[in-house]
Amino acid sequence: MPAAPRRIDVHQHLVPPFYRDLLTKAGIAEAGGRALPDWSPEAALELMDLLGTATAIVSVSTPGTGFLADPAEAADLARRLNDHGASLTADHPGRFGHFATLPMPDVDACVAEARRALDELGADGVTLLANNQGTYLGADGQDALWRTLDDRGAVVFVHPADLRAPAVDGIPPFAADFLLDTTRAAYLLVRNGVVRRHPNIRFILSHAGGFVPYASHRMAVSMAADTGRSPLDILDDLRGFYFDTALSSSPAALPTLLAFARPGHVLFGSDWPFAPTVAGQYFANGLDSGVDPATLTAVNHANAEALFPRLATAPATTPAGPAPVRLRQAAQRAGARLVFKLVQPGTR
């Protein structure tokens, strides 16, 4: 039986019961057009063992705290979520890390919570939604937050949110709108000089950066015309982002991402549980079969270990479960590999 790949998953979500209850009370039953999934630490660990994931850095997906109109309530919820993430990490040493939730768009509250989460709770970074009630990352008025994060050399996980426009019938937001949302945030972070002024912040863009790798040169030409900057400098800033492979390690998308991103800047992501287990297996197989061994090792864990040095000292293998469980998981993996091969263009 082949050794587990020891993946480090930087794009995995948690939905604590108290958070689900608050969303339900607010009439929110979905995120990005997908029903709120069931979540538990045990289910997360089962998925991780199936995919060969040693450690998952979990985060809260959209809507974060943005559904609360009262800034004080949003700040309190962020604290509760971050305390929960810290407890999860402590209860499962080596298996979990967490990105702290910040109560955007209240910048002052975000600064206070970022300091607490990074300095006291040991968070691995922070999560920021691409837009918060229609205000995008990179807009005016956010400098205090960027300074706080830059001072700490923080990792910022950028996750899309719903666009501030009605969804189109037949197109669930997660399928297309989310990619645009991330791209908009990346554009403004570069166009407005945030990444240049705060070089110690490491930004991770979800889902291979949305449209960023594919449209990077088009965006660079547009920004150059708008700002007078060199297109080469703009492309250098765009390549400076980190990118995760969640729902993106396909034969169509993965080569573009690897051709565009700087070496060391592509990280494994699953998007579980919003992306169901079958989707996680499908795209993990796309990665496993689509790159050379050195690149696979880098994306699976080496790049993340460089970004999060504490993970470089994690156990070298995922825990071995009981023999019946391992046999069942091996059969699931074999079946998923076969399905992946059968659905590729040109195979029928």
pLDDT at residue 1, as a whole number: 45
For 236, residues 6+ apart whose C-beta sits below 8 A from its C-beta are none
Contact 10, 244 (CB under 8 A): yes
| Burial classification of residue 224, based on how many CB atoms lie within 10 Å of its CB (0-12 exposed, 13-18 middle, 19 or more buried) | middle
Q: What angle (nearest 5°) sits at the alpha carbon of residue 130, between those of residues 69 and 245?
A: 135
Longest pairwise C-alpha distance within the chain: 63
Q: How many of the other CB atoms lie within 10 Å of CB of 110?
A: 26
190-237 pLDDT per residue, tens:
999 999 999 999 999 999 999 999 999 999 999 999 999 999 999 999
Which residues, in sequence order, are CB contacts of 216 under 8 Å at separation 6+? Answer: 235, 238, 239, 260
Residue 325: per-residue pLDDT: 58
| pLDDT means over runs of 10, the chain (348 residues) | 81 98 96 95 97 98 97 98 98 97 98 98 98 96 98 98 92 95 98 98 98 98 97 98 97 97 98 97 95 97 98 66 59 55 58
- Could you tell me the sign of the dihedral formed by the alpha carbons of 239, 245, 246, 252, in that order? positive
pLDDT, one tens digit per residue, over 254-271 is 999 999 999 999 999 999
Phi and psi, residue 125, nearest 5°: 165, -165
Name residue 59's amino acid. S
Q: Is beta strand 125-129 parallel, antiparallel or unpaired with respect to 155-159?
A: parallel
Residues 159/62, Cβ–Cβ less than 8 Å: yes
**CA neighbor of 348 nearest in space, from 313, 280, 339:** 339
Distance CA(302)–CA(212), nearest Å, equals 23
CA-CA distance, 57 to 157, in Å (whole number)? 10
**Percent of the chain predicted with pLDDT > 70:** 89
**Alpha-carbon distance 202 to 189, whole Å?**
12
Coil, helix or strand at residue 245: coil
CB of 114 within 8 A of CB of 102? yes
The tens digit of pLDDT for each residue in 213-226 reads 999 999 999 999 99
pLDDT for residue 316: 47
pLDDT at 342: 53
- The reported pLDDT for the residue numbered 3 is 64
Closest CA to 273 of 23, 82, 31, 3: 31
